[in-house]
Structure 1
Amino acid sequence: MDGNDPLYSIGDLARRTGLTVKTIRFYADTGLVPPTDRTPAGYRRYDVRALARLDLVRTLRELGLDLPAIRRVLEREASLHEVAAAHAEALEVQIRTLRLRRAVLLAVAQRSSSPEEMRLMHKLAKLSDVERRRLVHDFIDETFGGLDANPEFVAMLRSAMPELPDEPRPEQVEAWVELGELVQDPDFRAAVRRMAEHQAAERADGDRGGLHVALTGTVRSVIGGALAAGVAPGSADASPVVDALTAAYAETFERPDDAALRRWLLTRLETANDQRAERYWQLLAVINGWPVQESLREVFEWFTEALRTRLAEC
């Protein structure tokens, strides 16, 4: 140290840096900013290098670095850019967490949730992307595992995972919480398992399951027209609508349009027409920001009732 360098008291440093005397004394006692010298009476004195060191400590603390990290920088055990990069990454995680908590609180405020609902929302919302995928994959494994169901459909299920954005909207948090509850519901799992078993049985009988997808547009169009016209499924006016649709199924699957086909079709409709299955895809669309597809619930409920009525008349 140059004997001509000015020395500052703790009070001088406090005025220059805006830190309290107590804080500067703490940094001195922990060795982060040791005094340059002491007066004969034992009072601490600091030179310009200590002042610069103190200013760096203050800046790093304001950026949120903890004292061990600051010590590594000061003692050159780690470079400043390495510590800054690690801290920036940690801050990014904290920011995502805070955004998620904000979304949960907004969702709670909007739906007047109970304390128990709020705890559940927070528990499910704070799951990581990997944990969310694991929850859905566990659901798929239990419902479709060990069965030769439609492989294209199972592959689509596994590829369509819930992906909450870094800053989710309250409705996305709500949708994820509802989806998380749904895939853990034993009754829903049992219902989907029955659907999967029905798919597997159809495949064993040589049924070309993918053709059902091609018929969905026909069903939507024909029954949509009946609904628009106010045709009740149990009325006589529903008969030609049912006849047109069973004829389309018979042609597609190269089967006779008889009572056996209609019983097969009714069984399939009753097994597959669980509104929770449609809700699953609606919730997934909200979470991932996809367009929510038009509901087919009313269409297939009409078809099921109309077909049941026609079979009862046979």
Structure 2
Amino acid sequence: MFMSQDGLCSIGELAQSAGVTVKTVRFYSDRGLLPEACRSAGGHRRYGPEAPDRLRLIRSLRALGLPVPDVRRVLDEEAAGERALEDAVAGQLREVASGLKALRWREAGLRLVQECPPGERAERLRLVGAVTAAPSTDVLVRFWRAWLPARMPGGATERFLEVAVPRPPDEPAPAQVLAFARLCALVSAPCTGAVRPQPEVHGVAGARGAAVLYEGLAEAYELAAVALRRNRAPQPGEALDCFVAAYASAYGTRDSAAFRRRLAGQLGSDPRLDRYWELVAEVATPPGGRPEPTAGVAHDWLLAALTAPAVQGSRAG
């Protein structure tokens, strides 16, 4: 395409053929993305006939948002036989998705402030301002790690965190942003009798017993969630038996009517995290959607089933 006798072109000719500035060509050359074929007697850069196609490819990759190091890996792919392009594009897609989520949270936060009564704006600004645009659950994870029994096995802790820590929605409504902000504020507040104290079973069962307890509770909560989705009233059955068995295993005892009475009394007086679970439900439920049963709701359903008079005597003493 070049008219020079040696088939090479100057930096100006290359820039003109690609519709870019000389400064752009020089930038890519200096970073090793666009090698020059040689230098003229006067020290000017000369480029070979493959340069325009390479420059267009560079521009396309940059237009997709790929940083210079990723572009270099893609350009070297032909010789190395690597999947640099696929990896680079996948990485950019992850970044774009993260950016879009941050923008949606920012938009919902702005609408939350815009749509609230003037008297509530100061509080909402304070709450929303404490939550990053790309919301992090780190503060919730830290709360539960401090609340759970010390030296509880890591696997059991991680499984419980999957249940207890809500995943922020990718496209939140303003009400969900407010609920998440309130949730973070709740667990970040100074230690209070309503939030921080641990249940008695933590001290009685010990770390390994607590691991057995929480794994059993996770199964019981799943069974109770099935009943809740079917709008069933609290009642005896597999879910309740699993719930009681989890506590019995943690205490190293057996299920009996006496144990159920004692357990009902203990759970009734244990510290409650009701507000936490209420906010979790609000975060997880879009406007107009049906709330999914949280672990807190399942626990309340099971406790109600346990405290029913007929249940208290359903096991031989």
TM-score (norm 2): 0.54
What is residue 291 of structure 2 aligned with on the other side? 291
1:120 equivalent among 103, 109, 130: 130
Structure 2 distance, partners of 1:160, 1:218, is 21
Structure 2 distance, partners of 1:121, 1:158, is 20
1:190-227: CA deviations, max 9, x gaps? 335667239989xxxxxxxx9xx99x9579xxxxxxxx
What is residue 281 of structure 1 aligned with on the other side? 277
1:164-185: CA deviations, max 9, x gaps? 2562414333322222222233
Structure 2 distance, partners of 1:23, 1:166, is 41
Per-residue deviation, 1:159? 5.2
What is residue 54 of structure 2 aligned with on the other side? 53
**More helix by percentage:** 1
Structure 2 distance, partners of 1:48, 1:155, is 58
* Uncovered stretches (5+) of structure 2, i.e. residues with no partner: 114-120, 152-156, 205-219, 236-256, 298-317
What is residue 45 of structure 2 aligned with on the other side? 44
1:138 aligns with 2:149: no
Partners of 1:164 and 1:172 within 8 A in 2: no
Q: Which secondary structure does the structure 1 equivalent of 2:194 belong to?
A: helix
Query: Which amino acid in the other structure matches residue 135 of structure 1?
Result: R
Q: Which secondary structure does the structure 2 equivalent of 1:45 belong to?
A: strand
* Uncovered stretches (5+) of structure 1, i.e. residues with no partner: 147-153, 202-209, 220-252, 255-260, 297-314
Per-residue deviation, 1:86? 3.2
Partners of 1:124 and 1:180 within 8 A in 2: no
What is residue 71 of structure 2 aligned with on the other side? 70
TM-score (norm 1): 0.54
For 1:209-220, what aligned pairs fall within 5 Å after superposition?
Answer: 217=233
In the superposition, relative to structure 1, how do residues 156 and 292 fare at CA in structure 2: closer, same or farther (>3 Å)?
A: same
What is residue 179 of structure 2 aligned with on the other side? 175
Query: Which amino acid in the other structure matches residue 173 of structure 1?
Result: V
What is residue 311 of structure 2 aligned with on the other side? none
Query: Which amino acid in the other structure matches residue 59 of structure 2?
Result: R
Query: Which amino acid in the other structure matches residue 278 of structure 1?
Result: D
For 1:152-191, what aligned pairs fall within 5 Å after superposition?
Answer: 158=161, 160-164=163-167, 167-170=170-173, 171-188=175-192, 190-191=193-194
What is residue 238 of structure 2 aligned with on the other side? none
Per-residue deviation, 1:48? 1.5
Runs (4+) of structure 1 moved beyond 6 Å? 154-157, 198-201, 293-296
Larger Rg: 1
Q: Which secondary structure does the structure 2 equivalent of 1:191 belong to?
A: coil
In the superposition, relative to structure 1, how do residues 54 and 93 fare at CA in structure 2: closer, same or farther (>3 Å)?
A: same
In the superposition, relative to structure 1, how do residues 168 and 38 fare at CA in structure 2: closer, same or farther (>3 Å)?
A: same
Instruction: Determine what percentage of the aligned residue pairs are the same residue.
Output: 27
Query: Which amino acid in the other structure matches residue 275 of structure 2?
Result: R
Q: CA RMSD in A?
A: 5.0
For 1:261-272, what aligned pairs fall within 5 Å after superposition?
Answer: 271=269
In the superposition, relative to structure 1, how do residues 200 and 217 fare at CA in structure 2: closer, same or farther (>3 Å)?
A: farther
Structure 1 distance, partners of 2:134, 2:8, is 57
What is residue 229 of structure 1 aligned with on the other side? none
Per-residue deviation, 1:187? 4.5
Structure 2 distance, partners of 1:79, 1:87, is 15
Partners of 1:104 and 1:121 within 8 A in 2: no
What is residue 199 of structure 2 aligned with on the other side? 196
1:17 aligns with 2:18: yes
Structure 1 distance, partners of 2:133, 2:60, is 35
1:87 aligns with 2:98: no
